[in-house]
Chain A
Amino acid sequence: AQRVTQPEKLLSVFKGAPVELKCNYSYSGSPELFWYVQYSRQRLQLLLRHISRESIKGFTADLNKGETSFHLKKPFAQEEDSAMYYCALGSNYKLTFGKGTLLTVNP
């Protein structure tokens, strides 16, 4: 069975500090990993996907198959990054989501 684990329910950092949101997955096949974000009073939206290998809003995520991880990183957090972040694994037309990490960036 596939599973996504986000070990941190809450993460608080100061503006300008580096941030890393952890995500580990369990899947027997070749995974496709995503990060979705939900800002306050907004809908859930795609932040980035590993096959794109791009940086969105300064965030990057590298798929580490050896460690089965897909951690989300940003070198300098901004207050507008405060949001709920969900890691998700895609397979067979469905997404399996983690429970999410609430990131708060303090001024």
Chain B
Amino acid sequence: ETGVTQSPTHLIKTRGQQVTLRCSSQSGHNTVSWYQQALGQGPQFIFQYYREEENGRGNFPPRFSGLQFPNYSSELNVNALELDDSALYLCASSLVGDNSPLHFGNGTRLTVT
């Protein structure tokens, strides 16, 4: 069984730039969720994708967007980066179903300067 993998592990960007983070779901999983974890905080829900469509969204602005591909891999795109976007971004995959247990990746550490 292949777990959730994320790339890159670390990334440094400048304010105003755009970034793309990538995630490969655990084999057999068809739903992917993205979370932002700021330092000292718990993960905060960004959005979820199922069947290549956004299935739910947290309190994040439209400059946070995503994609899910037919192989269930996913991307998180953030435009016009702000300093407060500096955080650990976690991808989690699961089977479809309300509150199905999430399997997390190791995350991508994004630093915006």
Contact = CB atoms under 8 A, between A and B. Distances in A.
Interface in B85-110: 90, 98-99, 101-107
A10 to B, nearest CB: 12
Interface range, B side: 20 to 34
Given A93-B55, A93-B56, 5 more contacts: A43-B3, A93-B31, A93-B48, A96-B45, A97-B43
B24 interface: no
A94 B101 contact: no
B63 to A, nearest CB: 19
Contacts of B68: none
B102 A95 contact: yes
A43 to B, nearest CB: 5
Contacts of B106: 43
Interface string A76-107: 00000000001010111111111110000000
A98 B37 CA distance: 11
Given A43-B106, A94-B56, A95-B102, A86 B42 contact: yes
A32 B99 contact: yes
Which of A34, A43, A91 is the most central at the interface, judged by chain B CB atoms within 10 Å of its CB? A43
B99 A45 contact: no
B98 A100 contact: no
A99 B58 CA distance: 17
B5 to A, nearest CB: 10
Contact of B99 (A43, A90, A97, A99): A90
